[in-house]
Amino acid sequence: MLPEALIQALREARHVCVLTGAGISAESGIPTFREAQTGLWEKHDPMDLATPEAFLRDPALVWRWYRWRRSLVAGATPNPGHRALAQLEELVPQLTLVTQNVDGLHVRAGSRNVIEFHGNLFVTRCFVEGCVIEVDDEAEVPSCPACGGHARPGVVWFGEAIPEQALERSFAAAQDCDVFLSIGTSSLVYPAAGLAELAKRQRAVVAEINPGPTGLADRFDFAIPGKAGAVLPELLAGLSGDRR
Ligand code: OAD
């Protein structure tokens, strides 16, 4: 049973801000990062695969890892959690969806106002100049057609800054919203985790949806235990009757 006060806050919301993490894509078959046994960072050291230094050391290894992740995501489809968020966007006056995921599944599910905070797996950038490029994907380490430097996956690595526009738009949304939903994230990685804290300081109603509570849960108004693919459709069903 979902808290009626949360459904009521969504009914009255002017601007809803949502932050998603790997947990929302778990039900599409994409592994999360930090869960025991199954998490990607349980099996691989991020310092070998997801830093600029790792890329400079062994770009072929890093490319193999990202090609594997691309193929995993290419074979996956959005789940009821992604689809419920796309429908929620149609029911409220404004919704900003900030995702830490690089899988593009929110856009494939039909969400429109999406900020890809950590970039996108399927974008390729020049390692030297940072611009988006098209590459010959056959090469073990593709190169930039303009400058000849290494091409890299268009994701944000550890030690790198969040793209300025994504950062500004996300923090503006967290500051402006009246309801903030934190879904499927361990809330351990900043600055993304700071969005919920900012929303709370600005007196938004803040709710977490996660099978287990995270370290930030006791600071939120609601911690709803459960999988995104079950809880979000239920939330939508509670809301849609009144907000059509
Ligand atoms: P984590 O792997 O840290 O956390 C995933 C969370 O999802 C956990 O709290 C799980 O309990 C929860 N979860 C699992 N299944 C779920 C489900 N079906 N529904 C809802 N929640 C579920 O992933 P993130 O918080 O996304 O960054 O990690 C943040 C960042 O750390 C990632 O963007 C990535 C990673 O290193 C970079 O690569 C820069």
Taking only the tens of pLDDT, the chain with its 244 residues reads 899 999 999 999 999 999 999 999 999 999 999 887 778 888 888 889 999 999 999 999 999 999 999 999 999 999 999 999 999 999 999 999 999 999 999 999 999 999 999 999 999 999 999 999 999 878 999 999 999 999 999 999 999 999 999 999 999 999 999 999 999 999 999 999 999 999 999 999 999 999 998 988 899 999 999 999 999 999 999 998 644 4
User: The tokens of 159 are what?
Assistant: 């030690």
Q: What is the dihedral of CA 240, 241, 242, 244, to 10 degrees?
A: 60
Would strands 94-99 and 114-116 be described as parallel, antiparallel, or unpaired? parallel
Ligand 1 pocket mutation, candidates 24, 210, 214, 234, criterion most atoms within 8 A of CB? 210
CA–CA separation, 160 vs 170, rounded Å?
Answer: 17
CA-proximal residue: ligand 1, atom 20 (nearest) = 184
DSSP state of 109: H
Assigned token pair, 88: 């929620």
